[in-house]
């Protein structure tokens, strides 16, 4: 029996049903029993793992409302549900083979250094062939995972493949994920140039998420881009987060405060992002950016006072007061 004829979940029985989900181009191809368990949110962990490795875990019938990261059903709609010992592989078990190690990475909610380190133990050329194969036949969530692998396990080895994927990423709404791979696989300034060029082709409704991909470049050129592309109104906090992650310095903050809205709001939001706190975006905890060009923290207080005086509105006062109250916790790079 060929792989194409075998159930994607149990990988043993013949395909008997095609079950649609939120991606009509990539339906689930299942045997009768696995199709029934899928519909009732009752896949066994190994079945969930196998299916998530093909479609990505974020697909509606597989996502984290119904299963934990190890594939245990949290809301089974079958009486007497049991996993019957069909457990998903651990990282150590999956790392015995390249395809299974890639499977493991695709099924993680947030792949980390342990998963990428396991992939780096394989020959780079073999890993590149594997991600190219997966991307060629996989859904958008799988392609996104392949960008993460290219970025964190391959680097420049994957440069040609990453270049070739930009337009597909743009068409699929995956430019932000592609940017991580571009930042880590392509030489500077090529990756950022390609990303900025692509942003000019993004539809308005997809722009917010797409522009956040620029954070991976950690470049002051992104600050220049913000100055010319910031919206005149409805300035969301992610603009400040992007600025904070783009090597922001105190001199630029002062200039933005003096320029007034929208840049003053972005500057304040950026300052608040340098304060570690529960509930902060995971990327801030991962990258831990710091405000550079600070001689003394009193300089930050002076900037906050300038912001309050120039724009004494509730939003400005709230953010300025927050930063002022946590001034000792602001991550900074002290200049001599």
* pLDDT tens-place string over residues 57-86: 998 899 999 999 999 999 999 999 999 999
308: CB partners within 8 A, 6+ apart: 316, 317, 320
Res 151: pLDDT? 98
How far is residue 40's CA from residue 273's CA, in Å, rounded to a whole number? 42
User: Residue 77 forms beta bridges with which residues?
Assistant: none
CB 285 within 8 A of CB 276: yes
CB 105 within 8 A of CB 111: yes
Residue 87 maps to a domain: no
Q: For 309, phi and psi rounded to 5 degrees? A: -70, -35
Res 59: pLDDT? 87
**226 & 203 share domain:** no
The band of 3, judged by pLDDT with boundaries at 50, 70 and 90, is: low
Query: What would the mean pLDDT of 85-97 be, rounded to a whole number?
Result: 98
Res 1: pLDDT? 47
Of 187, 300, 288, nearest to 245 by C-alpha is 288
Q: What is the pLDDT of residues 252-299, one digit of tens each?
A: 999 999 999 999 999 999 999 999 999 999 999 999 999 999 999 999
Q: Is 127's pLDDT higher than 90? A: yes
**42 & 135 share domain:** no
Q: Which domain, by its residues, includes 254?
A: 218-336
CB 333 within 8 A of CB 294: yes
The 3-state secondary structure of 185-231, one letter per residue: HCCCCHHHHHHHHHHCCCCHHHHHHHHHHHHHHCCHHHHHHHHHHCC
**156 & 223 share domain:** no
DSSP-based three-state secondary structure for 334: strand
Residue 71 maps to a domain: no
Residue 91 maps to a domain: no
Q: How many domains does the chain have?
A: 3
Residue 69 maps to a domain: no
Cα dihedral 76, 82, 84, 85 sign: positive
Residue 90 maps to a domain: no
| pTM passes above 0.75 | yes
**203 & 149 share domain:** yes
The band of 138, judged by pLDDT with boundaries at 50, 70 and 90, is: confident
Residue 67 maps to a domain: no
What tokens does 137 get? 């036949």
CB 159 within 8 A of CB 141: no
Query: What would the mean pLDDT of 171-193 be, rounded to a whole number?
Result: 97
Res 22: pLDDT? 81
**100 & 209 share domain:** yes
Distance of CA 153 to the CA centre of its chain: 15
CB 37 within 8 A of CB 47: yes
**161 & 124 share domain:** yes
How far is residue 186's CA from residue 192's CA, in Å, rounded to a whole number? 9
Percent residues over pLDDT 90 in the chain: 95
Taking the chain, what is the end-to-end CA distance rounded to the nearest angstrom? Answer: 69
**205 & 295 share domain:** no
**210 & 226 share domain:** no
**147 & 229 share domain:** no
Burial class (CB in 10 A: 0-12, 13-18, 19+), 232: exposed
Res 335: pLDDT? 83
**261 & 292 share domain:** yes
């Amino acid at each position: 029996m060929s792989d194409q004829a075998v159930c994607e979940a149990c990988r043993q029985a013949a395909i008997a049903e095609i079950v649609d989900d939120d991606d009509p181009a990539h339906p689930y191809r299942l045997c009768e029993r696995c199709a029934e368990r899928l519909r009732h949110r009752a896949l066994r962990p190994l079945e969930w793992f196998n299916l998530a490795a093909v479609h990505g875990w974020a697909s509606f019938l597989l996502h984290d409302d119904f299963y934990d990261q190890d594939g245990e059903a949290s809301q089974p709609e079958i009486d007497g549900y049991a996993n019957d010992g069909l457990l998903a592989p651990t990282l150590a078990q999956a790392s015995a083979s390249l395809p299974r190690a890639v499977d493991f990475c695709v099924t993680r909610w947030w792949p980390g250094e342990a998963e990428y380190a396991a992939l780096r133990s394989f020959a780079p050329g073999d890993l590149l062939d594997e991600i190219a194969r997966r991307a060629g036949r996989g859904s958008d969530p799988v392609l996104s995972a392949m960008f993460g692998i290219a970025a964190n396990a391959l680097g420049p080895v994957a440069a040609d493949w990453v270049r070739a994927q930009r337009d597909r990423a743009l068409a699929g709404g995956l430019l932000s994920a592609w940017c991580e791979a571009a930042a880590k696989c392509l030489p500077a300034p090529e990756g950022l140039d390609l990303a900025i060029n692509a942003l000019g082709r993004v539809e308005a409704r997809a722009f917010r998420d797409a522009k956040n991909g620029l954070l991976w470049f950690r470049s002051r050129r992104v600050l220049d881009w913000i100055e010319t592309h910031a919206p005149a109104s409805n300035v969301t906090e992610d603009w400040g987060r992007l600025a904070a992650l783009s090597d922001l310095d105190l001199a630029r903050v002062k200039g933005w405060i003096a320029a007034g809205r929208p840049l003053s709001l972005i500057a304040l939001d950026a300052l608040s992002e340098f304060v570690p706190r529960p509930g902060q975006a995971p990327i801030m905890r991962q990258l831990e950016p710091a405000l550079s060009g600070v001689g003394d923290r009193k300089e930050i207080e002076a900037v906050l006072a300038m912001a309050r005086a120039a724009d004494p509105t509730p939003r400005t006062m709230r953010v300025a007061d927050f930063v002022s109250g946590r001034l000792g916790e602001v991550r900074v790079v002290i200049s001599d």
